[in-house]
Amino acid sequence: MRQHGGVNAWRGCARPLTPTPLPLSGCAGGGEGKARMPDIFHFTAPAHWRTLDFIADMHLKPQEPRTFAAWQQYLLTTPADAVFLLGDVFEAWVGDDCTLPRSFERRCQAVLRAASKRCALFFMAGNRDFLIGKKFLARAHMQPLPDPTALHFGGRRWLLSHGDALCTDDARYQQFRAQVRAPEWQAAFLARPLAERLATAQHMRQASEAEHAGRGYAQIDETLAAQWLRAADAETLIHGHTHQPGAYEMGEGLWRVVVSDWHITDSARRLDVLRLTADGLHRIVPDGV
Q: How far is the CB of 241 from Mn ion (least distance, A)?
A: 4
**How would you list the strands of the sheet with 143-144, edge to edge?**
143-144, 120-123, 82-85, 52-55, 273-277, 280-284
Query: Residue 178 CA to chain centroid, in angstroms?
Result: 17
* Residue 84 or 153 with smaller CB distance to Mn ion: 84
Reduced to 3 states, what is the DSSP secondary structure of residue 68?
Answer: helix
* Residue 241 or 283 with smaller CB distance to Mn ion: 241
Q: How far is the CB of 244 from Mn ion (least distance, A)?
A: 12
Exactly one of 127, 149, 242, 244 binds Mn ion (CB under 5 A); which one?
Answer: 127
User: Site for Mn ion (CB under 5 A): how many residues?
Assistant: 4
Could you tell me which stretch among 126-134, 151-159, 220-228, 257-265 binds Mn ion (CB under 5 A)? 126-134
Q: How far is the CB of 14 from Mn ion (least distance, A)?
A: 5
Q: Which of 246, 268, 274 is nearest to 8 (CA)?
A: 246
Q: Which of 156, 165, 259, 265 is nearest to 220 (CA)?
A: 165
DSSP state of 155: T
* Residue 126 or 245 with smaller CB distance to Mn ion: 126
**Residue, CB closest to Mn ion:** 241
Q: How far is the CB of 154 from Mn ion (least distance, A)?
A: 27
* Residue 157 or 260 with smaller CB distance to Mn ion: 260
* CA dihedral sign of residues 16, 18, 23, 29: positive
Q: How far is the CB of 100 from Mn ion (least distance, A)?
A: 25
What H or E segment, with its residue span, contains residue 156?
strand 156-161
Q: How far is the CB of 183 from Mn ion (least distance, A)?
A: 21
Q: What x-and-dash track marks residues 236-265 binding Mn ion by CB under 5 A?
A: -----x------------------------
Could you tell me which stretch among 25-33, 38-46, 233-241, 279-287 binds Mn ion (CB under 5 A)? 233-241
Q: How far is the CB of 20 from Mn ion (least distance, A)?
A: 16
Q: Which of 87, 107, 85, 70 is nearest to 268 (CA)?
A: 70
Distance, in Å, from the CA atom of 248 to the CA atom of 4, rounded to the nearest integer, reads 9
Q: How far is the CB of 239 from Mn ion (least distance, A)?
A: 9
Distance, in Å, from the CA atom of 203 to the CA atom of 87, rounded to the nearest integer, reads 21
The Cα angle at residue 230 between residues 228 and 233, in degrees rounded to 5: 110
Residues 75-104, interacting with Mn ion (CB under 5 A): 88
R_g over Cα of the chain: 18
191 contacts: CB under 8 Å, gap ≥ 6: none
Q: Which of 124, 149, 148 is nearest to 137 (CA)?
A: 124
* Residue 157 or 225 with smaller CB distance to Mn ion: 225
Exactly one of 126, 148, 246, 286 binds Mn ion (CB under 5 A); which one?
Answer: 126
CB atoms within 10 A of CB 228: 23
* Residue 241 or 275 with smaller CB distance to Mn ion: 241
Could you tell me which stretch among 97-105, 120-128, 151-159, 277-285 binds Mn ion (CB under 5 A)? 120-128
* Residue 86 or 142 with smaller CB distance to Mn ion: 86
What residue ranges bind Mn ion (CB under 5 A)? Answer: 88, 126-127, 241
